[in-house]
């Protein structure tokens, strides 16, 4: 099928760029002897997960059990959920253990004890890692708390659970204001984990795995010592935020939204048929966050005179900052979104692009929120 035959808006994936992004990250991990376990949140596609495994990834991550069910069904043999699963879902976990090598995180003694009970009742064992808060202040135990090592030792002692090690996510890297701050975040995370690993081992707890992962600080994190595993997600497609965080160039961005001009009420305003139902209202982040809801490309080049100043659900209202544009209703543009992960989650299907040829890419794990 040809690109210009697609109904718009359409989510396009440049296959060559995506695969080049995968090659580079795998090479960077290999160079440091760190195992790569990509997070699937960005592509939600077993097809793309296969590209990652074929290049050397040791498995994947999902956030939710519903996603893991899709990837396990597609034959992905090793799935980690860096998510604090609740034991209300024990039945689904037990079912998944028959289909894939599943592991997940715990960060709460009471929840860990409930998981232990559930696994003992089911006659099963499951791999877990203790989540450590390295500064994002979302989930995770406080590594500086008096009880941190005792909590880890407590999990290690629970029947039904096999403690594999520690896991962290430096999500605060998305809020860094400079290259230096990103480097300090990466160094701080590594130092925190090395220290906690040493204290846990000194207390007699075996720590085999130390897992971290986020795309923005990856270039710094992969220079640190102490990690056994890295879990970037966004790096497969990148987006405007990653460019602004120095993690990619615009030419690395593999996901674009092809949209059509549908109205031009006045010379300095055009309306595109992609709204928040395709791009979401996620703002751009980065060292110097840019206004608007994405970068508009014309013939592959950014047109900085076009500012997506407002999204309705099905409309992008674009201000032409120079007062006029040759674009007319019917014309096609492409948009590099602020955040590519959320775009994947909005469509049942994206399109893999090779030149002018396109091929459907089902987003099989889209919308699996439970």
Q: Which of residues 132-191 bind a copy of itself (CB under 8 A)?
A: 133, 137-142, 171
- Select from 53-61, 77-85, 247-255, 287-295 the region that touches a copy of itself (CB under 8 A): 77-85
Give least dist CB 122 to a copy of itself, A.
18
- Closest by CA position to 227, among listed 38, 29, 58: 29
How many residues contact a copy of itself, by CB under 8 A? 63
Kindly list the distances between the CA atom of residue 228 and the CA atoms of 17, 32, 41, 98, 309, in Å, as whole numbers in the listed order: 27, 9, 21, 26, 43
Of 261, 235, 199, nearest to 340 by C-alpha is 235
Using the rule CB under 8 A, which residue among 2, 88, 204, 225 binds a copy of itself?
A: 88
Calpha distance 119→159 (Å, rounded): 8
Of residues 334 through 363, those in contact with a copy of itself by CB under 8 A are 341-342, 345-348
Q: Quick check: bond before 332 cis, omega within 30?
A: no
323 binds a copy of itself (CB under 8 A): no
Region of 29-37, 122-130, 188-196, 271-279 interacting with a copy of itself (CB under 8 A)? 271-279
Q: Which residue has the tokens 């296969």?
A: 50
Contact 335, 306 (CB under 8 A): no
Q: Exposed, middle or buried by CB within 10 Å (0-12, 13-18, 19+), for 31?
A: exposed
Supply the minimum distance, in Å, between the C-beta of residue 336 and a copy of itself.
18
Residue among 189, 252, 273, 303 that touches a copy of itself (CB under 8 A): 273
The answer to the question of residue 123 lying near a copy of itself (CB under 8 A) is no
Our CB check for a copy of itself shows the closer of 19 and 345 to be 345
- Of 63, 95, 97, 120, the one binding a copy of itself (CB under 8 A) is 63
Q: Quick one: which of 271, 266, 248 has its CA closest to 333?
A: 271
How many Å apart are CA 273 and CA 260, to the nearest integer?
6
Which segment (182-190, 197-205, 272-280, 299-307) binds a copy of itself by CB under 8 A? 272-280
Shortest CB 9 distance to a copy of itself, Å: 6
Residue 370 binds to a copy of itself (criterion: CB under 8 A)? yes
- State in angstroms the smallest separation of the CB of 282 from a copy of itself: 5
Q: Is 303 in the site for a copy of itself (CB under 8 A)?
A: no
70 binds a copy of itself (CB under 8 A): no
Name which of 28 and 173 has its Cβ closer to a copy of itself.
173
73 binds a copy of itself (CB under 8 A): no
Asked if residue 305 binds a copy of itself (CB under 8 A), the reply is no
Residue found under tokens 């970037």: 232
- 15 contact partners, CB below 8 Å, separation of at least 6: 254, 352, 353, 354
- Owner of token pair 């060559």: 16
Return all residues near 110 (Cβ < 8 A) that are at least 6 apart: none
Cα–Cα distances (Å) from 55 to 156, 192, 212, 236, in that order, read 33, 30, 20, 13
Contact 28, 5 (CB under 8 A): no
Tell me which of 3, 74, 97, 111 binds a copy of itself, using CB under 8 A. Answer: 111
Residues at the site binding a copy of itself, with contacts judged by CB under 8 A: 7-10, 41, 63-64, 66, 83-89, 107-108, 110-111, 114, 133, 137-142, 171, 260, 262-266, 269, 271, 273-274, 276-278, 280-283, 310, 312-315, 317, 328-330, 341-342, 345-348, 367, 369-370
């Amino acid at each position: 099928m040809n690109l210009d035959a697609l109904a718009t808006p359409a989510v396009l994936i440049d296959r060559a760029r995506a695969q080049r992004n995968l090659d580079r990250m795998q090479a960077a991990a290999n160079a440091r002897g760190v195992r790569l376990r990509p997070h699937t949140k960005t592509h939600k596609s077993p097809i793309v997960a296969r590209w990652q495994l074929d290049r050397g990834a040791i498995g994947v991550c999902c956030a939710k059990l519903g996603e893991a069910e899709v990837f396990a069904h597609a034959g992905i043999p090793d799935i980690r959920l860096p998510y604090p699963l609740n034991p209300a879902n024990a039945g689904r976990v037990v079912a998944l253990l028959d289909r894939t090598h599943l592991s997940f995180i715990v960060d709460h003694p009471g929840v860990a004890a409930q998981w232990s009970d559930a696994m003992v009742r089911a006659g099963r064992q499951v791999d877990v890692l203790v989540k450590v808060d390295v500064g994002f202040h979302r989930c995770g135990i406080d590594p500086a708390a008096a009880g941190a090592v005792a909590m880890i030792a407590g999990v290690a002692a629970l029947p039904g659970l096999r403690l594999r090690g520690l896991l962290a996510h430096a999500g605060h890297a998305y809020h860094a204001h400079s290259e230096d701050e990103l480097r300090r975040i990466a160094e701080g995370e590594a130092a925190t984990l090395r220290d906690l690993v040493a204290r846990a081992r000194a207390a007699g707890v075996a720590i085999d795995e130390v897992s971290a992962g986020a795309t923005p600080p990856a270039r710094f994190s992969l220079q640190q010592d102490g990690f056994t595993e890295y879990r970037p997600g966004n790096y497969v497609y990148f987006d405007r935020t990653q460019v602004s965080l120095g993690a990619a160039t615009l030419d690395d961005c593999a996901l674009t939204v092809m949209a059509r001009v549908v109205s031009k009420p006045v010379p300095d305003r055009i309306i595109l048929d992609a709204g928040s139902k395709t791009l979401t209202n996620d703002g751009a982040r980065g060292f110097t966050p840019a206004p608007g809801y994405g970068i508009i490309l014309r013939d592959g080049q950014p047109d900085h005179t076009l500012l997506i100043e407002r999204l309705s659900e099905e409309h992008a209202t674009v201000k032409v900052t120079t007062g006029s544009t040759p674009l007319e209703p019917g014309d096609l543009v492409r948009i590099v979104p602020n955040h590519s992960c959320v775009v994947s989650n909005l469509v049942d299907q994206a399109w893999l692009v090779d030149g002018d040829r396109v091929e459907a890419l089902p987003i099989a794990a889209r919308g699996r929120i439970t």
